[in-house]
Structure 1
Amino acid sequence: MGDRDAWASRLTVCMVHYLILIIICIVGAMLQATIGFGFPIFAMIFLVMIFPFSTAVTITQFAGLLGVGYFFFKYRKFVQWRVLLPFLVPALLIGISLTYVSVEFPVSQLKIGLGLVLIGIALLFLFRSGSIGVKPTPQMGFLMGSLSGVMNGLFAVGGPPVALYLLPTTEDKLGYIASANAYFLIFKIFSLPIRFSNGSIQREHIPFLLVSLFSMTIGILIGDRLMRRIPKPLLRIMVYSFVAVSGLIIILQEIF
């Protein structure tokens, strides 16, 4: 009787984990499709509660690959490579390098500082976006790309710097969505093999990977419809607000 109760309890916990993962992927995919980033931040808030940190990162990266791949191939002709390349190069070099050491890197204090930076930058862009005049210069691309590389390599949440750089510098909404997802796709192609090779995914995690892909598909299809209805001024407010909230969440997770 005791063994049967223990088995039933484990089954219940497992089903709850699957349900949480499905909801996270659907809602997160809609968020990613609507504002161009955000799924990793949203997913990591909850997945670290049910998986080890490295496993949560790998599941998030793997699931996100489907979404960014879909939007890249659908809108690839709108990618603004001239704007993206100065950002992409340092982001890849720094991000891939830090991915190797992220498992053993003590990052608590760094994450709090990073959260404060995100909040400050987001508020500045949100309330003074008309006077800042960010331009797609190589210097700005290198600075924001480096920051994204640090965030992606250590925390797998490199989206906020992507949005802060690309949203003011791309010509239109589709250019922003296409360019952002081009970066995410390229980064994931390089980083995922490293994540899988560090032992973060075991045999029992494979069903969770498959469920995440199925759930992401549903969220992507819904989010794609929503994205096309959002004007760029509203998109700008949504993006900067989410960046600020992301910074606050990063700080609160470390404090509490």
Structure 2
Amino acid sequence: MIDNIVIELFLLSIGASFVQRTTGFGFGIFIMTMLPAIMPSYGESTTLSGILAMTTSLIVVVQKHKYITWSRLLPILTTFVVVSIGAIFLLKRMEYGILNVLLGITLIITSIYFAFLSKRIKVRTTMPVQVTAGGISGLMGGFFGMQGPPAVLYFVSSEPDKDHYLAMTQTYFLVGNLIMTLTRAYNGFFTMTVATGYVYGIAGVVVGNVIGSWVFRHITGSLLKYIIYAYIGISGVTFLLK
């Protein structure tokens, strides 16, 4: 049984890291479709997802740090940090069944949005938009460990090219996941099981990042993205039916 969990964590980490490296987001969305089923609690699942995603982002930030523009990053990041901390404290008081339903609905809406609506909706890079995107991202990150979609929508509109986009999103996720991990640890979600899972998953993160880096340089990912969106939507339906 333990061997099966090790293999599952390794493969999930490869897939999640690959998605994050090729699209700039999606680590939490991908891995949280299955991680709650193999971890002892939902809080531990989001904690493990967060520290693995943080490692993925760190690799990219080291590579792309010269493209970071803090003036465009700080308002949305600050809002995210405040809201996500509050959501994590609420998480301790919520029932797993309710979280399953909320996660399923979130996954379905996310897949529909990115598959059909993301190219049609243009977002202005104003302060109210930054605060709104950071707030929604904070709720999604604190509850589900998947803060990407609202932030991605903002950074796609605000950044001039893919290198700036990748640097800004990964810095956002790196800092955000660091803060959330500290908050989750304070709330008792950082357990020995999480630490062990990180050891098993980190090799998958490295493999997925290497493959994703190659794809990012050589292949247009439109078809890949739609496959991922379909997978996310199906996973959301599965959570609703549990």
TM-score for both structures, normalised by structure 2:
0.86
Give the superposed CA RMSD: 2.5
The answer to whether residue 145 in structure 2 is matched with residue 152 in structure 1 is: no
Q: Find the aligned partners of 1:245 and 1:162 in 2 and give their Cα distance.
A: 21
1:39 corresponds to which of 27, 51, 55: 27
Q: Which runs of 5+ in 1 are unaligned?
A: 1-12
What is the percentage of aligned positions where both structures have the same residue? 24
In the other structure, the counterpart of 2:188 is 199
| Equivalent residue in structure 1 for 2:8, among 4, 7, 20 | 20
Question: How far did 1:228 drift?
Answer: 2.2
What are the superposed Cα offsets for residues 91-113 of structure 1, whole Å, 9 maximum, x if unpaired? 11111121122122344554455
| Contact preservation (8 Å) 2:108, 2:232 | no
Letter in 2 for 1:253: F
TM-score (normalizing by structure 1): 0.81
Alpha-carbon distance in structure 2 between the residues aligned to 1:144 and 1:241: 25
For residue 207 of structure 1, report the CA deviation from its aligned partner: 2.7
Letter in 2 for 1:200: F
Q: Which has the larger radius of gyration?
A: 1
Aligned with 1:99 (options 84, 88, 113): 88
- The residue type paired with residue 184 of structure 1 is F
Give the counterpart of 1:86 among 75, 79, 82. Answer: 75
Partner of 1:255: 241
Q: Does 1:67 align with 2:56?
A: yes
Equivalent residue pairs, number = 237
Q: Distance in 2 between matches of 1:166 and 1:239?
A: 18
Cα distance in 2 for residues equivalent to 1:195 and 1:56: 11
Cα deviation code 1:221-240 (max 9, x no counterpart): 22122212345xx56x8668
Contact 1:164 1:240 in 2 (8 A): no
What is the deviation of 1:197? 3.1
Which structure would you say has the larger RCO, counting Cα contacts within 8 Å and 6 or more residues apart?
Answer: 2
